[in-house]
Amino acid sequence: MPATLIDGKAVAAAYRDRVQTDVAAFTQRTGVTPHLAAVVVGENPASAVYVRNKQRACEKAGIGSSLHTLPATASQSDLLTCVHGLNDDPTVHGILVQLPLPEQIDERAVLDAVAPLKDVDCFHPENVGLLSQARPRFAPCTPAGVMELLSAAGVETSGKRAVVLGRSEIVGKPMAMLLLARGADATVTVCHSRTADLAAVCREADVLVAAIGRAKFLTADMVKPGTAVIDVGINRLPEEEGGGLAGDVDFDAVREVAGSLTPVPGGVGPMTVAVLLRNTLTAAELQTAGEPG
């Protein structure tokens, strides 16, 4: 029997409705409109699409947004000046630096420069440290979105074996921390393309999160029957393979084995944006309350 599809668009829509209600209540109570500032360097078409989607989502949720664009030739100093200006602007509550950045810029130095209370992507080391202690200030957007999808699909994680395929700072590592946190209580393995006998490790999973950045990398023989599979990847296929988008999961084959499965697109992506909205509201709440940071 084919896997049950987890509809990320529907789950995200319900989540955004809750955020919209909470934003309206916050603004009515305080007179403050949460504001997300996006910083883009260069003219990457994919980045432009992502930022437009985030701006539209902000507008629907009652959150203000602004776009700060620098040329692809911008120096690290130029970008840091922009970030510091947004840090100092009391009307800006969240700062999102769109990745990837041009090669002349030290990505880590820029992300570290974002004020921790405005770091709605949860990339700053202070926020990562809080996450590692299971007391996050902000939920890392994509991993938190995955947890929402698992919950909405009725997937139990407590006491289960979870495998995270990918060890990135953005998805893999924070995903493992959320699965380990009290309440999730999974037994977690983080693996990657160089893990010995990778297929056997993946087959141990009751919950399998694929975030390795390779199209159709996870095949049916790597999945135990009935496993909940979450596909975080989004890859552009070459023209000789028909073009279009594909996740990190071989969708058609894995669907015949898995118990539940997210599609690409329409799975994790919408939840990432939804959690970003929640984090922007949280940032506004913290700053309005005067939390130091």
Active site annotation includes 54: yes
Of 22, 118, 119, 121, catalytic:
121
Q: pTM of the entire structure?
A: 0.95
Show me where the domains of the chain are located.
31-116, 141-269
208-247: pLDDT as tens digits? 999 999 999 999 999 999 999 999 999 888 877 777 889 9
C-alpha angle 218-219-222 in degrees, rounded to nearest 5: 85
Q: Which residues belong to the annotated binding site for NADP(+)?
A: 166-168, 234
Collapsed DSSP state (helix, strand, coil) of residue 167:
coil
Overall average pLDDT of the 102-131 stretch? 97
Q: Does 60 participate in catalysis according to the annotation?
A: no
Instruction: Give yes or no on whether 31-116 and 141-269 have one common fold.
Output: yes
User: Which residue ranges are tagged as binding site?
Assistant: 166-168, 234
- 292 has a pLDDT exceeding 90: no
- Residue appearing with tokens 């893990």: 195
State how far the alpha carbon of 48 is from the alpha carbons of 19, 68, 110, 202, 265, in Å.
24, 12, 19, 35, 17
Q: Is pLDDT larger for residue 74 or for residue 100?
A: 74
Q: Omega into 45 within 30° of 0, i.e. cis?
A: no
Provide the pLDDT for residue 293: 62
For residue 166 the two structure tokens come to 């990918």
**Exposed e or buried b per residue across 223-255, where buried means at least 16 C-beta atoms within 10 angstroms of its C-beta:** bbeebbbbbbbbbeeeeeeeeeebbbbbbeebb
Contacts of 274 (CB under 8 A, 6+ apart): 12, 15, 16, 19, 57, 145, 148
Average the pLDDT over each of 34-48, 77-91, 119-133 and give the range with the smallest value. 34-48
| Assigned fold of 31-116 | Rossmann fold (3.40.50)
Rounded to whole angstroms, the Cα distance separating 41 from 47 reads 9
Question: What's the token pair of residue 226?
Answer: 């009935």
| Residues 6 or more apart in contact with residue 200 via CB below 8 angstroms | none
Q: Is the pLDDT of residue 49 over 80?
A: no
Domain 141-269: state its class: alpha beta
